[in-house]
Chains A and B, each alone.
Chain A
Amino acid sequence: MSAAPAASPTLAVALEAEDLRHRYGRRVGLERVSFSLAGPGAVAITGPNGSGKTTLLRLIAGLLRPTEGRTRLRVGDAEVPPAERRRWIGLATPDLAFYEELSVAENLSFAAEARGLAAPAQAVAETLERVELAVRGADRVAALSSGMKQRLRLAFALLHRPAVLLLDEAGSHLDEAGRRLVNRVVAAARREALVLIATNDERETGLGDQRIELRGRGLGDPA
């Protein structure tokens, strides 16, 4: 078991969604949803397949522009516009892929340097320890199993110690040891960040203090 990095100054986080809705062409990606959350803390997002859990996380992360409505994120005293959210948000999602020709550590070093972290090598080393992937740091991503890639996704999301941590199916591909790791990561992160866990796995929904249940019709039904 490895310890979390030294705690960063904890900032109050407020996340709101107002009449948020998203379509992919003619298909509904996310039915209208509104909520108001405050962090640090942990929130589970549940709903049937296709109800928009992943879409909601991508909207919050600023990777998608909502068809209707809006999200608002405040970190400390400052409102963070969608285009700047990558600085404050860590996202681990199943469609997050890495450069297969680079090693685990090189991928994370690239992310740390691109984010402008002051001590990228230290951040990478600490984060790899945190997700128990340090021994595979020199291995190329192409050589990793799906479970190890999932740990790498967690490391990528945690690397810059974000104020908002978005975990999409965080336990997918993980064995029991990996699931215990997710529990420890969430338990540590929720003390200093707002953690949103999108899942239908009861072992993960229990990690949240609150739950947002998306009531979309599922399977991306046509509007």
Chain B
Amino acid sequence: MATNGSSSGAAVWAILRKECRSEWRTRYGLNAALLFSVTTLTVVSFAVGRLSDRTDLLSAMLWVVLLFAALASLSHAFVREVEGRTMTMLRLVASPTAIALGKLLFNLLFLVVLELVTVPLFLVLMGGPPPRWGPFLAVLALGSFALGTSSTLVGAVIAQTRGRGALFAGVSFPILLPVLAAAVSGTRAQWQGGAVGADLRLLASLGLALLGASLLLYDHLWED
């Protein structure tokens, strides 16, 4: 059996490519996420008009739209493997950690694509004031990182449980709440001219803590 000597990295890369190919073929998550964000922003824009002077409301709304648009797909990364009975195949070709890292990278890439469409549309339709691009993009990046790690971890934990829908809501709530609170606070601060350093540190800490917990947990998640 000849291997290229770095099978963990190869496995993560292979899983990321497989996820992208599967998503491209099925459009399982991206179409639904984009439909949600475009529809929501259009409807709210028609209903309440532009909210240029309500940066507190804009900040909350941006993250609520991103959360709900992305969550269904992010949390189903592992559920799809269980329901499609492909988890056995995955476990036979890669370690649990490699599987989870591949899924996490795909989820982060998914968020980037979603945000590339949603954020410009949001700024145009909702009439958000021009952001301070450095702080704004930093909050967006670290918020997405924390959102991606948390939903990937929770998705992995609940994938093989019964009643996973209810469990996902219950487990996600205490994890997502501080992530969203910090992301909304940072987004509002950059629009109001305040400092975003504390929010960025909190988002980075949450993301790294969740990533660390994930790396410790993944090897034990799928032992029957």
Contacts and interface: CB of A to CB of B under 8 A. Distances in A.
Interface of A: 8, 24, 61, 63-65, 83, 86-89, 91, 93, 95-102, 106, 110-111, 113-119, 156, 160-163
A115 B86 contact: no
B93 A86 contact: yes
Interface string B1-35: 11111110011011101100110011000000000
B26 A97 contact: no
Contact of B91 (A63, A93, A161): A63
Contacts of B14: 110, 113-114
Contact of A83 (B88, B92, B95): B95
B223 interface: yes
Contacts of B18: 99, 102, 110, 114
**Residue of A106, A114, A162 contacting most chain B CB atoms (<10 Å):** A114
Contact of A116 (B10, B15, B91, B92): B10
B89 interface: yes
B87 to A, nearest CB: 9
Contacts, number: 99
A116 B224 contact: no
Given A83-B95, A97-B86, A111-B89, 6 more contacts: A102-B18, A102-B21, A111-B92, A113-B14, A113-B17, A116-B3
A96 B87 CA distance: 8
B11 A116 contact: yes
A115 B92 CA distance: 9
Interface string B25-69: 110000000000000000000000000000000000000000000
A95 B88 contact: yes
A99 B84 contact: yes
B1 A96 contact: no
- Which 10 pairs across A and B sit closest by C-beta, in order of nearness? A116-B7, A113-B14, A97-B85, A114-B14, A114-B93, A118-B2, A116-B10, A101-B25, A116-B3, A114-B11
Contact of A111 (B1, B7, B22, B93): B93
Interface in B62-113: 84-86, 88-89, 91-95, 98
Given A96-B88, A101-B26, A114 B1 contact: no
Contacts of A162: 1
Given A97-B85, A98-B86, A106-B21, A119 B91 contact: no
23 contacts: A61-B92, A83-B95, A86-B93, A87-B1, A91-B92, A95-B88, A96-B88, A96-B89, A97-B88, A97-B89, A98-B89, A101-B22, A113-B14, A113-B17, A114-B10, A114-B11, A114-B15, A114-B98, A115-B11, A116-B5, A117-B3, A119-B2, A160-B1
